[in-house]
Structure 1
Amino acid sequence: MRNAIIAGALLLALPACGAEPQEAETETAAYSPRQYMQAVNDIARMDDRQYDETRKPGELLAFAQIDKGEKVGDYIMGGGYLTRLLATAVGANGKVYAFQPEEFIAFRPEYAEEQDAAVAPYSDDQGNPVGVIPLRGPIAAPGWPEPLDTIITVMNFHDLFISQMPDGTANTAVQMLYDALKPGGTLVVVDHLAAEDGGLDAADELHRMDRQLALDALTGVGFVLEEEADLYSRPDDPRDANVFDDSIRGNSDQFAWRLRKPE
């Protein structure tokens, strides 16, 4: 189901003039933003909708190729924007593991409250999580309780490389992401793009990700880059400002990758 379906239709026309049969090909995408409208319009997302124009939720879910019934990890969930989308997208038979790193909560305690708020709409009458399960732990050890079909991390991959993290965090976390997926599973990474050769300094100082550094880390453990989308491409961003700077916040140039763990 995950790959684009290409259907070739041979249309035979037999007009009176005796023209030769004509052949036409029709290409249809297996995933489209329209199929995720229920998730985008979820009432639990009322406060999120102000960000939808730039964050393109339907397009992101289509790019990630989220199916009903999937087990999905929201890695470094932040305020829960993606968690709420995934909750409806995977349906009643799916499950979302919403992971908030302990390091983030230690830096900003509100992250714990935001995790609780994101999970609450998907809990039963006794407050027990149903469908959306909160996880907390070290950034490189979320403790996923089962193999996952998909993991998505949005605008936080660079945090694995900042100097505040313990030595070896990036390598350990990337290997963890690979190991957490089922064979054939996918990892979707969206992050702020650094200038070419920005290296570790870009992550540390600008909260941006050096493209080659990320690609080497991910392919180094076995991931295959399946597709790169221009969903968040903003060529006017000079990529030299901190992403929290008012001059660029919310409008940074970002890459979007879908990577595959081989079968």
Structure 2
Amino acid sequence: MRNAIFAGALLVALGGCSGGEADTAEPQDEATSYTARQYMQSVNDIARLDDQQYDEARKPGELLAFAQIDKGEVVGDYVMGGGYITRLLATAVGANGKVYAFQPEEFIAFNADYADQQDAAVAPYSDDNGNPVRVFPLRGPLVEPGWPEPLDTIITVMNFHDLYLTDFPEGTASEGVQMLYDALKPGGTLVVVDHLAQEGGGAMAANEEHRMDRQLALDALTGAGFTLEEESDLYSNPDDPRTANVFDDSIRGQTDQFAWRLRKPE
């Protein structure tokens, strides 16, 4: 496999203690606005100290508000990488919630650091015997995470395009999208953030630039049954020509990205 395939979310995980219980905001009803402010305890979790250097660009509070994460939810972090999103979710879901942090076996086979990073992300949310509490690691094939229960929300950040890599078997994209749909409860939400490709870039953009063609993604997701509920410009950068590989120094960390919240019908 090419060296860049699995580099998207490689962050160094941090051990240590959790920053306490969940944010104080109560679960929201449909008429209530979600704001970044209500997730400040999640953002300030002591287990995220190393992550905070990335927060200006990654806007963690705003992302949680866009995802509309409530206490008590069961949430999946699909392709967790270094655990940045996992650690955010751990406090946001509260003591009665659960986070399933999925690391694909294919990624771990490519680079064993992914296994270490998963272990480190789970460790702050484990009991004195090392048993996971609230945050549970999952490993399996890319399209078979083995979610142990239906999920309220799935978040996948900078990895949706990986489903279209030619290194994976034909049909991986359609199987992966269907898996995401089936994993959610009726009315559940899927949040997708990814690097934008040029219009018409197709699957080639995923393979050559690690970017996602907007229309290709939208057709696949709506074709599986999802409804696009909201699109955010949270990570928009109109100065990105969308032609360079996302790991190119000229654009790395500054790519134009889409952020979608999609819903599975009731």
Q: Note whether the superposition's TM-score is higher than 0.5.
A: yes
For the aligned residues, what is the CA RMSD?
0.7
Paired residues for 1:151-190 under 5 Å: 151-190=154-193
Aligned to 1:214: 217
Instruction: State the Cα distance separating 1:2 from its structure 2 match.
Output: 5.1
Aligned match for 2:91, one of 88, 92, 100: 88
| Over 3 Å off, 4+ runs | none
Could you say what secondary structure the match of 1:243 adopts? coil
Report the TM-score when normalising by structure 1.
0.90
Query: What is the number of residues matched between the two proteins?
Result: 239
Instruction: State the Cα distance separating 1:223 from its structure 2 match.
Output: 0.1
Aligned match for 1:202, one of 202, 205, 220: 205
Q: Quote the Cα distance in structure 2 between the aligned partners of 1:182 and 1:201.
A: 32
Is this contact kept in 2: 1:2–1:65, CA < 8 A? no
Q: Quote the Cα distance in structure 1 between the aligned partners of 2:33 and 2:149.
A: 27
Could you say what secondary structure the match of 2:50 adopts? helix
Which residues of structure 2 form unaligned runs of 5+?
Answer: 1-27
Instruction: State the Cα distance separating 1:60 from its structure 2 match.
Output: 0.1
Instruction: State the Cα distance separating 1:30 from its structure 2 match.
Output: 2.0
- Structure having the higher Rg: 1
Give the residue type in structure 2 aligned to 1:195: Q
Report the TM-score when normalising by structure 2.
0.89
Aligned match for 1:62, one of 62, 65, 68: 65
Give the residue type in structure 2 aligned to 1:46: L
Aligned match for 1:251, one of 251, 254, 259: 254
Q: Which structure shows the higher strand fraction?
A: 1
Aligned to 1:25: none
Paired residues for 1:24-35 under 5 Å: 29-35=32-38
Matched, 1:118 2:126: no
Could you say what secondary structure the match of 1:136 adopts? strand
Aligned match for 1:236, one of 232, 239, 250: 239
Could you say what secondary structure the match of 2:49 adopts? helix
Matched, 1:37 2:40: yes
Which residues of structure 1 form unaligned runs of 5+?
Answer: 6-28
Aligned to 1:11: none
Instruction: State the Cα distance separating 1:33 from its structure 2 match.
Output: 0.2
Q: Quote the Cα distance in structure 1 between the aligned partners of 2:246 and 2:92.
A: 29
